[in-house]
Structure 1
């Protein structure tokens, strides 16, 4: 699928809160590692449009994703990339891809104006239920580290209910939580 709506609720965690959730919920024993490579224009045109662009590497598979605001969450547009294409992107030789380029053009952003800014690596624990996915992320970037809870859901109603219940049940304070790309760019 080239596009999907992402409905998720996020909360920054302390290491203690992260460890408590990891211990008290039936997460798989091992985490998966993924790396996000972030792109932006020099004048931050993506940010000005409320968008973010990344390449995610997970298990040797590379996916380019443009995230845009949507009334129900975020509209994600995807294209697959080869390892060689990723190398080219990171070196400034941007190869236009069908779906993401179309969405960027709709916002008057040229792929030729994109620049690679850096990466963020995450060790992710996922617990899937019928209508939600509970995610615990430990991320490192630019000499920083953080811990985050995400609840991904099939609807806003299901998501907010599961998210608030999880926080309350585990006595975790709700915190303003910028997304990963925002946290990454705050360290540049």
Structure 2
């Protein structure tokens, strides 16, 4: 078995008042046999959250293009990873949101994945190993679809051998924000 070391960066979230002066991240070691639901729990604990919500992982290629969605077990219905886009929507997105230097191959891959989305995966039934972390471009993770706590997850290292237990935080930077904005601060 393989143990993976991932760095999980928490993106700023201005609507919730989270705009840190330094990057906020956690390094998490996780065994390849752990599920994405286990990885979610590790991230949940690492950022000191307490109130459970829906979440989603999205695998991305080397160009940042979304390849497949893996959702919270209670949201899983075996449907598509995302809503298909029609040609006009895809063209509009490429014109406005894709860098000019993106290759035609990447644009074609985006076009195909948006018009023919893959089936979603169940986070409780998908192991970290099944994602082929060394072959991925990146992984994104969103927690609480209402507040949209977005994270960027990148493989930092791999090593042979298994963890003797749960995923573990091995390093960190920055202070985790409160899960909910303190509305008293607005008064």
Q: TM-score range by the shorter chain?
A: under 0.3
Q: How high is the TM-score relative to the length of structure 1?
A: 0.27
Q: How high is the TM-score relative to the length of structure 2?
A: 0.27
Q: Which has the higher helix share?
A: 1
Higher relative contact order (CA 8 A, sep 6+): 2
